[in-house]
């Protein structure tokens, strides 16, 4: 990660007013439940976007060490007016204004070590870092609980990606050593202690490095199917479908594919609640089987996995993981495995061997430590 304060000095000829950081995330469990008003349990990664920023006289200027050219705009205009990576920055300015806030003109320099295209929310980290910087620079009085929805609107309306509220919530509201239990309807959170190291455990993340396949279209299609199912079942959202008696409820739907989509969401919500119960009583190892059934549900019912992630999950389990699952939106991305801390290298090697046997591009493993959400440094 580059020294963003010195980039700022080089580009703008002055010290920044401050540095702000916001992390990427992995989701322990609760996939495609957020836009169904359900439950999620992400934690923040140490990998983060850092923004050096100062108030300016007019407009917004942004340097990113990942890009050749700076972006600048005098006004974010209407959604879509600014495109490419700068749309995430313009989108945050737009969403803050749209929510009625006076946004300070600013100069920014950005750096990031959040892996791109790995399903660990590099875009939410970018939005959240810029949002936090602009809120502080402008002295805007916005409660932390209200911030993720602003960053989500930047992504949904300005950038045009129909995501839920999990990633921005994780980047903004997570705390070190905890997983964030979020009710995506009420937006209430509970910090759930997740000190894996104290139990001699680790969460191994394996970036599948699978090429992304039709992610945007498939994500939107899953979301549509869930909303249509809720309409047909006469409930506001699939969160309102009870896990008890699910089979009878599903019989009310003619479409077999839709039945499976609903079954994933309803059982996944229950798995989040069960995971939280176990973690509250310190039984971390016992969440493993819930992680593994979450993966099976994503593979068989929601159909959002790809061979690379399925092979990584199988190999991690064969190597002795307590549980393993894909994390994030799907069609590639990362796999999480809950393992004994001293098994990280062996598990990563087992996944790499399985990849070699299948002729897949080698995966990238790293150990995830639950870290702090967005903050001024």
Min dist CB 226 to ligand GAF, Å, is: 10
x/- mask, ligand GAF, residues 309-348, rule CB under 6 A, reads: -------------------xx-------------------
- What residues act catalytically? 167
- Lookup result for tokens 């937006």: 187
**Residue with Cβ nearer ligand GAF (132 or 152):** 152
Min dist CB 264 to ligand GAF, Å, is: 11
253-272 binders of ligand GAF (CB under 6 A): none
Interacting residues of 231 by C-beta distance below 8 A, sequence separation 6+: none
x/- mask, ligand GAF, residues 276-315, rule CB under 6 A, reads: ----------------------------------------
Q: What is the dihedral of CA 231, 234, 239, 242, to 10 degrees?
A: -140
**Residue with Cβ nearer ligand GAF (328 or 332):** 328
Provide the H-helix boundaries in the chain.
4-12, 86-98, 122-137, 147-153, 166-173, 215-233, 246-251, 256-280, 288-300, 307-318, 344-358
Interatomic CA distance for residues 71 and 303, integer angstroms: 38
Min dist CB 247 to ligand GAF, Å, is: 24
Interatomic CA distance for residues 101 and 103, integer angstroms: 6
Q: Does 164 bind ligand GAF (CB under 6 A)?
A: yes
Q: How far apart are the first and last CA of the chain?
A: 15
Task: Figure out which of the listed residues 112, 128, 163, 292 binds ligand GAF, where binding follows CB under 6 A.
Answer: 163
32-71 binders of ligand GAF (CB under 6 A): 32, 34-35
Burial class (CB in 10 A: 0-12, 13-18, 19+), 18: middle
**Residue with Cβ nearer ligand GAF (12 or 35):** 35
Q: What region, left, alpha or beta, does residue 209 occupy, with left being phi > 0 and alpha being psi -120 to 50 degrees?
A: left
Answer yes or no: are the C-beta atoms of 56 and 293 closer than 8 Å: no
x/- mask, ligand GAF, residues 2-31, rule CB under 6 A, reads: -----------------------------x
**What residue ranges bind ligand GAF (CB under 6 A)?**
31-32, 34-35, 163-164, 166-167, 328-329
């Amino acid at each position: 990660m580059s020294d963003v304060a010195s980039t700022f000095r080089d580009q703008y000829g002055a010290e920044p007013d401050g540095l702000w950081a916001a992390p990427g995330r992995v989701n322990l469990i609760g996939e495609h439940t957020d836009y169904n008003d359900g439950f999620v349990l992400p934690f923040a990664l140490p990998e983060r976007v850092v923004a050096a920023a100062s108030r300016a006289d007019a407009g917004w200027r942004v340097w990113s060490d990942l890009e050749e050219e700076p972006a600048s705009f005098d006004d974010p205009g209407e959604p879509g007016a600014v495109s490419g990576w700068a749309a995430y920055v313009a989108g945050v300015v737009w969403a803050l204004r749209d929510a009625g806030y006076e946004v300070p003109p600013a100069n920014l320099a950005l750096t990031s070590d959040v892996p791109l295209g790995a399903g660990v929310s590099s875009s939410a980290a970018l939005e959240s870092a810029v949002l936090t910087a602009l809120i502080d620079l402008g002295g805007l009085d916005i409660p932390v609980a209200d911030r993720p929805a602003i960053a989500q609107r930047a992504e949904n309306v300005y950038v045009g990606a129909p995501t839920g509220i999990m990633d921005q919530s994780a980047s903004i509201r997570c705390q070190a050593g905890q997983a964030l239990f979020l009710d995506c309807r009420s937006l209430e959170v509970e910090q759930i202690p997740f000190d894996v190291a104290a139990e001699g455990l680790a969460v191994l993340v394996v970036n599948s490095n699978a090429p992304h396949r039709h992610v945007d279209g498939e994500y939107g299609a899953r979301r549509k199917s869930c909303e249509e199912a809720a309409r047909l079942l006469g409930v506001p959202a699939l969160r309102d479908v009870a896990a008890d008696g699910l089979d009878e409820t599903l019989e009310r739907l003619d479409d077999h594919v839709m039945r499976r989509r609903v079954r994933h969401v309803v059982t996944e919500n229950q798995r989040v609640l069960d995971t939280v119960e176990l973690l509250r009583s310190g039984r971390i190892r016992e969440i493993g089987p819930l992680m593994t059934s979450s993966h099976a549900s994503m593979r068989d019912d929601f159909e959002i996995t790809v061979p690379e992630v399925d092979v990584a999950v199988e190999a991690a389990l064969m190597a002795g993981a307590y549980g393993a699952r894909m994390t994030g939106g799907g069609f590639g991305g990362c796999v999480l495995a809950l393992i004994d801390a001293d098994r990280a290298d062996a598990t990563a090697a087992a996944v790499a061997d399985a990849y070699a046997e299948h002729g897949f591009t080698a995966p990238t493993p790293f150990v995830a430590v639950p870290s702090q959400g967005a903050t001024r440094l």
